Structure 1
Amino acid sequence: MTNRLPEWMLRDLSLPRLRRYIRAVHGDAPAAERLYWWNIEASAALLGPLHCLELALRNALHNALARYYGRPDWWMVAPLNERGHKLVNDARRTCGRRLSRITPDDVVAELSFGFWVSLLSHGSGYDRHFWVPVLHSAFPHYRGRRDSLYRELTSLVLLRNRVMHHEPVHHRHLSADHATLYRVLGYLSLELAKESKTMDRFPAVLAGRADVLRGARPPRF
């Protein structure tokens, strides 16, 4: 087997993208190819749990804020910072390009994972305006500090973005990421965390990494 990536792979996937995998395996081209495919396999396996977390988080925070402010479009009266208002306005414009009538649910679905996580930050007094009076109640199974929860969620935003933008995740401590994901999901809903685990194939994918990298089994996604 040649120690060079196939020409079609260099053409179709691009050397700048593949170079990160080549460096990770110290120039071993066959290993770089296997690592690339395993990275896709791992990212695909993480998509389901990340899906559950993102939807559960945004629904929990939205429902808590809608109750607190007494209206489903709570962002119209809540003390969002400048960036928060921009993200809401961007979401509304995006909805307006494809919908004749925009509902609060449309805006909620359009807002990013990063927006929802930012509501738990210390910035612009969000800890006082949001966490203390209302958002702590969105995590019925959490008794820790806001800043600890925010750090966990920020790490998961980075993981989610790498998965969704087809970036490398193989270099991360993926077993720790996976544990954090389920820990935070459990803060929101023990039932959803339990159900998600019954369908989660990521542990098997992670356990099979060494077999894929040495060529003992083909990657699958």
Structure 2
Amino acid sequence: MSLFVGLFMASTGFTQASNDSAAGITYLAEVYRPFIYEQEGEPAGLAVTLLKLIWQEMDVPEQPIEIMPWPRIYDSGQWDRQVAIFSVYRTRERENHFKWVGPIARGRQALFCLRSRNLKLRSIEDMTGLKIASLRDTASTSKVLQTGIVPTCATHARHAVELLRSGRVDAIALDEARFRHTIAAMGLSARDFETALILSEDSLYYAFSPDVDDALIARFQRALDTVTARQAYRTLLNSYNN
């Protein structure tokens, strides 16, 4: 089946009832371009499209996807029953909190600063004494906390950029894709910013709550492996990276 025919089948009609255990999962995501966003009131993006293809491979009817703020999602994924959240960086700190299906794609956590500050950081030790802003419960925040620095908590990525531009912080710790899309949405020039330090490179996954059955996790993983082995997936990945 072609990618475009498959996407049409996945995006048309109403959500169907199913006795499949995959239909008993609550699927949660936040706006996080290019992986998740809303288009005409509906979830869209690379991770959403990939999940629909996984459901097709598993012969599971398309399920609802709820979009909500990241702190609520992260708490739900750890404590609520039968939840899948995405897209989530699979880090050492998070490893035992979830069951994982992936990878979806690779990404980077980094410190960003104003180019005019000319910060020259060669290692995390050089972060000592800096005022840093980040977002609650993100992989970037975990990396900053590991250095002993308690970051200023921004309410969202745009707020973090505003803190940086106002001079209230020296740098912001964010996912690279989130940072690039945020400054573009704010109408800011990328030339006014620079990457001060790469904190880590990790893969993004679908993260399932610990109570989800291992057999279901294995089914999801087999379906994802089948989908991502096809040329259609590479075409899809390139379309979101361009």
Common fold: TM-score over 0.5:
no
Larger CA Rg, structure 1 vs 2: 1
Q: State TM-score, norm by structure 2.
A: 0.25
Q: State TM-score, norm by structure 1.
A: 0.26
Flag the structure with higher strand content: 2
